[in-house]
Amino acid sequence: MALSLASTPALADVFTKEELIKVNKEAAGGGKGTLIGEYAFTRDKALKDQAIKEISWLTLKPGDSIGYHKHTTNEDTYIIISGRGTFKDKDGKDIAVKAGDVTIVRKNESHGLTNTGTEPLVFVDVIAEQ
């Protein structure tokens, strides 16, 4: 049995698909289109003493993007599940990504992601702080 997300979100070991919080963000990070999100928990619900602050399934439709933005207090990892895209790294270099690829941006670094394919770009996003 999973714990209630509202009572102790960061303590649960399992978040079922049905319990995930659906949040769509328009022009995420200054990007284009809609970032479709399903969150186990978000930064405002995470406990201060735990490193993982946010974890989610995210989807970008073809042509949509997360704009190039900087992480000043945390690290961000994308695990690409399906689809294809272009990841803009800390140096502004565009790198092709596909299913199975993992990206990471460290504290005080920037990144962005664009779906350059014809199918949805689905990825898991993990945000952590020390």
Q: Is the pLDDT of residue 7 over 50?
A: no
- Which pLDDT tens digit goes with each residue over 51-76? 999 999 999 999 999 999 999 999 99
Mean of pLDDT over the chain: 91
Q: Report how far residue 100's alpha carbon sits from residue 64's, in angstroms, rounded to the nearest whole number.
A: 20
Q: Report how far residue 40's alpha carbon sits from residue 35's, in angstroms, rounded to the nearest whole number.
A: 16
Q: Note the pLDDT of residue 50.
A: 86
**Is residue 112 domain-resident?**
yes
Q: Report how far residue 84's alpha carbon sits from residue 106's, in angstroms, rounded to the nearest whole number.
A: 23
**Is residue 6 domain-resident?**
no
Which 3 state secondary structure label does DSSP give 88?
strand
**Is residue 4 domain-resident?**
no
**Is residue 49 domain-resident?**
yes
- Which pLDDT tens digit goes with each residue over 101-125? 999 999 999 999 999 999 999 999 9
Beta bridge partners, 127, equal: 54, 76
Which 3 state secondary structure label does DSSP give 50?
coil
Q: Note the pLDDT of residue 43.
A: 85
Domain range enclosing 42: 20-128
**Is residue 52 domain-resident?**
yes
**Is residue 113 domain-resident?**
yes
In percent, the amount of the chain with pLDDT more than 70 equals 91
- Say how many domains are in the chain: 1
